[in-house]
Amino acid sequence: MNAPFTQEFLTLQEIYQAAKRNLPPGPWAYLIGGAETETTVLRNRRALDEIAFRPRVLRDVSRIDSTASFLGRKARLPVMLAPIGGLESIVEGGAATAARGAAQFGVPQMLSSVCQPGLEQTAGAAQTTRVFQLYVRGDDAWVDDFIRRARDNGFCAFCFTVDVAAYSRRERDLLGRFVKPWRARAIEGAAFQAGLNWSHVKRFKDKYPDLPLIIKGVATAEDAELCVEHGVEVVYVSNHGGRQLDHGLGSAAVLPEVVKAVKGKAEVWVDGGFMRGTDVVKAIALGAKTVGIGRLACLGLAAGGVDGLVKALELLEDEIRICLGLLGVTSYSELKARHLAQAIGVRQPDTFSAFPLPPVE
């Protein structure tokens, strides 16, 4: 779905509008929706909107470096394509198309184990930095097979998602009778996911000490401390985009306590409502190393396939560079918590309230 008009996208707002036009009602509702009342979805956005900037002026910002490091590898931005279970419903080619866009622009991709066309085909689609995310649907031998396959196909780290012990009620999907094609893959063997515990983390680190482990779905300082105690390399703050536990805190609100608990002994990543360059800068200032973008990546893919994703990332990069310069910094290392302040949000949040302007008639 490489639209010929992708070069006409001058704003992320236009990419959002094109994606909304292109997607059928079922996939669009899936992209918007969350669990039950969708309170966590709204709090993700509200938490970001209630952070304001404290800019410094008269600093030499004629040269700005917006590149980043991702597990020791260079990335064009401190951004990663977050794992999405149903990319094939958003764009033809699913995860393989996303991989090509990530490679073309220069950011990493985290592949969901329930996303098509699967591990090997996605790895073969493009040469990019990639991480594999697993929903546990089998015993230790089953997990080990995925680890072997991931390593054989060039995935540089492995991730357990841990906020899915029970599958949530996604009421937009239910009301619209949208049957997600990947749903069966997501629930088959779900008892293994429900039984996942810290002993499995210990087993992984004991058996694969040289393979970085990411724990995705951390939402408290207590669990962040346990991650560090178990030798986890990356603590990934996430509430599944508001799709799992309803009435949770927004990710940006949780981030400071997790960063404090980790004490620099592991990297901290975050996702949940991050749509604009200013959102990414806020996360880095709060102590995150990498920001996962899920719905934003989907908007780019839905708007124009590979080209749409690359354009969305280019616009995000432009917003980040502008934000850094206007804050008076030239790199992420100069960002501090003192560049931020709490403020009152100015609009009612929703999934895509980061794109508030109406279409041009």
Query: Length of the chain, please?
Result: 361
The residues facing 132 across adjacent strands are 111, 158
Mean pLDDT, range 155-182, rounded to an integer: 89
- The C-alpha atoms of residue 342 and residue 37 are separated, in whole angstroms, by 26
Residues involved in catalysis = 240
Greatest alpha-carbon span in the chain: 60
Residue 158, SS3? strand
- The C-alpha atoms of residue 112 and residue 130 are separated, in whole angstroms, by 11
pLDDT at res. 108: 98
The pTM of the full predicted model, rounded to 2 decimals, is 0.96
As given in the structure block, the two tokens for residue 79 are 């951004």
Q: Which fold has domain 6-342?
A: TIM Barrel (3.20.20)
> Closest Cα partner for 190 from 157, 166, 206?
166
Contact 164, 135 (CB under 8 A): yes
Per-residue confidence band for 183, with pLDDT thresholds at 50, 70 and 90: low
49-106 pLDDT, tens digit each = 999 999 999 999 999 999 999 999 999 999 999 999 889 999 999 999 999 999 999 9
pLDDT at res. 3: 47
Predicted confidence (pLDDT) at residue 340 exceeds the cutoff of 50: yes
Per-residue confidence band for 179, with pLDDT thresholds at 50, 70 and 90: confident
pLDDT at res. 184: 60
9-34 pLDDT, tens digit each = 999 999 999 999 999 999 999 999 99
H/E element, 40 = helix 39-49
Q: Please give the C-alpha separations between residue 291 and each of 193, 265, 268, 280, 343, in angstroms, as whole numbers.
A: 25, 18, 9, 6, 22
Going through 54-185 in order, the beta strands assigned E by DSSP cover 68-70, 73-75, 79-81, 109-112, 130-134, 158-161
- The set of residues, in sequence order, having a beta carbon less than 8 Å from that of 255 and lying 6+ positions away, is 237, 268, 270, 283, 286, 287, 288
pLDDT at res. 2: 47
Find the Cα–Cα–Cα–Cα dihedral 350, 355, 360, 361, rounded to 10°.
Answer: -20
- The C-alpha atoms of residue 32 and residue 29 are separated, in whole angstroms, by 5
